[in-house]
Amino acid sequence: MEQSAQVLIIVGHPRTRSFNSALAHEYASGVRDSGRSVEVVQLSELKFDATADPTEVTSLEPDIKRMQEKIAAAEHLVIFAPGWWTTFPALLKGFIDRTLTPGFAFQYESGKALPKKLLKGRTARIVFTMDGPAWYYRFFNRAPGVNAMNRGTFWLCGIKVIGNTLLSVRAKSETDEAEAHREGLLRKLYAIGQSDSKRLKLTEHRTSRSAGTVTVG
């Protein structure tokens, strides 16, 4: 049986060769060098209909089924995404809609206002990049994309977010100072990967974890 990664990294940028991807792989290197198993998944390389109505889907695409299995087996999830119009790309939103479905991530219960959380026992980190200052996104815009992911998604599924990392990447600048800044961010994500591995005290590697049944919502 193929072993599943303890740490599952999901890159939500539509471009495979993005700075988000570079950051994600540095985080993965930090995790791997700490002796933990890790996998990086680029959503841009998956084949699924991001605009389909989950309530009308009769069968899940193979890539969506595999991602549900990976999420169910993981102990720690990390989302990398650019902040576009203060939230995240449509590709990532569509992935969430199609993957975190009723019966897998949560389950409605008669007479209760909130659903049962089926992904308890897992943790997550959210990494958001932007061209502007991170403080502006956090305090002026009130970090809507991060809040939607944190409180509106992971919390309802039972996943505990241990950290929100907001990064100003200055992608439009090609000065030596900006390049040095981005190199520093890569080193920072490597260090965070190592820190998270030690902080989480991940279990010895195992191939499966309990979760909701992988079904169509």
Per-residue pLDDT of 13-31, as tens digits, reads: 999 999 999 999 999 999 9
CB atoms within 10 A of CB 186: 16
Where are the domains positioned within the chain?
7-200
Q: What is the pLDDT of residues 137-164, one digit of tens each?
A: 999 989 999 999 999 999 999 999 999 9
Query: So what's the pLDDT on residue 213?
Result: 37
Residue 210 to residue 199: CA distance in whole angstroms: 22
Residue 111 to residue 114: CA distance in whole angstroms: 9
Q: 208 pLDDT band (50/70/90 cuts)? A: very low
Residue 101 to residue 95: CA distance in whole angstroms: 10
- Give the global pTM: 0.89
Element (H, E) at 157: helix 155-157
Q: Percentage of the chain with pLDDT > 90?
A: 74
Question: When comparing pLDDT for 83 and 213, which is higher?
Answer: 83
Element (H, E) at 5: none
Q: Please state the rounded mean pLDDT for residues 76-82.
A: 97
Query: So what's the pLDDT on residue 211?
Result: 52
CB-CB contact of 82 with 130 (8 Å): yes
**φ and ψ of 177, to 5 deg:** -65, -45
Element (H, E) at 127: strand 123-130
Whether residue 171 is predicted with pLDDT greater than 70 in this model: the reply is no
CATH class of 7-200: alpha beta
Q: 202 pLDDT band (50/70/90 cuts)? A: low
**φ and ψ of 24, to 5 deg:** -60, -40
Using a 10 angstrom Cβ sphere, with 0-12 exposed, 13-18 middle and 19 or more buried, the burial of residue 180 is: exposed
Query: So what's the pLDDT on residue 172?
Result: 66
Residue 12 to residue 10: CA distance in whole angstroms: 6
